[in-house]
Amino acid sequence: MTLCTNHPAQDIAEAMLKALARSCPDRTLAGWSKRFRIAVHGVNPRTSRPFIWHLFHARGGGGACVAGDGWPTAGEGQAAGGIKFGSVEVAETRFPLFFARHEFRPDSGGAGKFRGGVGSILELRAETTEPAKANTAGEGVTYAPYGLLGGKDGLPHRYRLISRKKTRMLKTKEVGIPVMPGDVFFVESSGGGGYGDPARRDPRAIAEDVANGVVTRTRGPRPKRASSRPARRARGRA
């Protein structure tokens, strides 16, 4: 367990929500993403001064509930969307970092009558000129945000470091990770859990998800179709 009170608070709350789901389905919600941060320490070649940068971007998705879909890129459940990330442009100006991609992660939200909020994709390149160091802290790689009342789980976090054409998975509790000039952090944050049977999702909502690119045609939930066969008449006289 890491990050002091963050994850214990969320785990306690979510355990209670799951326990109450059957008796109070309209007052509970599916699982949210967990915090998984990266801190990078090095020397800024523009200023020749040391820097420390903490990842608050690439937030995960929120869990769905009876009121609707989960919030996209809302962050961890214990903050309920209350922690914002800073401007990409400001970060690139102040630190030797380049945000090549920062966008929604398709298909990361769990399917359901109401879909889990999608997570993020971040491609972050180190524009340093000498080796730096990084460490990680968090949860959410092994256990995905849970689906509720027939809803599906969201996708878990998947963080990778691409260094000198080699890719390694980042664990949630590492220190002293070498970060070479030009290395790329490829971050895929988790999506929230879905709520309710995916077959009951409004077809218009599915079409909108596909049009917006947050769900693909191959992985999106499909609603039940009515039978095309004519109804059979009961035998016997009227």
Residue 202 and residue 222 in contact, taking contact as beta carbons nearer than 8 Å: no
Domain hosting 65: range is 6-212
Is residue 115 pLDDT above 90, yes or no? yes
Residues 6+ apart with CB under 8 A from 142: 156
- The pair of structure tokens assigned to 11 is 């785990």
Domain contains 54: yes
> Is residue 232 one of the residues assigned to a domain?
no
Residue 191 predicted with pLDDT over 60? yes
- Is residue 39 exposed (0-12), middle (13-18) or buried (19+ Cβ within 10 Å)? middle
25, part of any domain? yes
132 or 230, higher pLDDT: 132
Residues 65-113 have pLDDT tens digits of 999 999 999 988 777 766 777 899 999 999 999 999 999 999 999 999 9
- Asked if 51 and 42 count as a contact pair (C-beta separation under 8 A), the reply is yes
Q: What is the mean pLDDT of the chain?
A: 88
Q: What is the average per-residue pLDDT within 197-204?
A: 96
* Confidence check: pLDDT of 206 > 80: yes
Asked if the structure places residue 151 within a domain, the reply is yes
| pLDDT tens for each residue of 37-50 | 999 999 999 999 99
Q: With residue 175 as reference, give the H or E element that holds it.
A: strand 173-179
Give the neighbor-by-neighbor strand order of the sheet with 173-179. 49-54, 36-44, 132-138, 173-179
CA dist 221 and 214 (Å) reads 12
DSSP per position, 14-82: HHHHHHHTTT-GGG-BPPPB--EEEEEEEEETTTTEEEEEE---S--PPPPBTTBPPPTT--BTTTTT-
pLDDT over 90 (residue 116): yes
**pLDDT score for 233:** 38
Total count of domains within the chain: 1
- Between strands 132-138 and 173-179, the pairing is antiparallel
Is 218 inside any structural domain?
no
Domain contains 231: no
Within a domain: residue 229? no
Does residue 228 lie in a domain region?
no
How many other CB atoms are there within 10 angstroms of residue 124's CB atom? 25
pLDDT at 219: 56
27-38 residue pLDDT tens: 999 999 998 999
Instruction: Let me know how many helices (H) and strands (E) the chain has, helices first.
Output: 3, 9
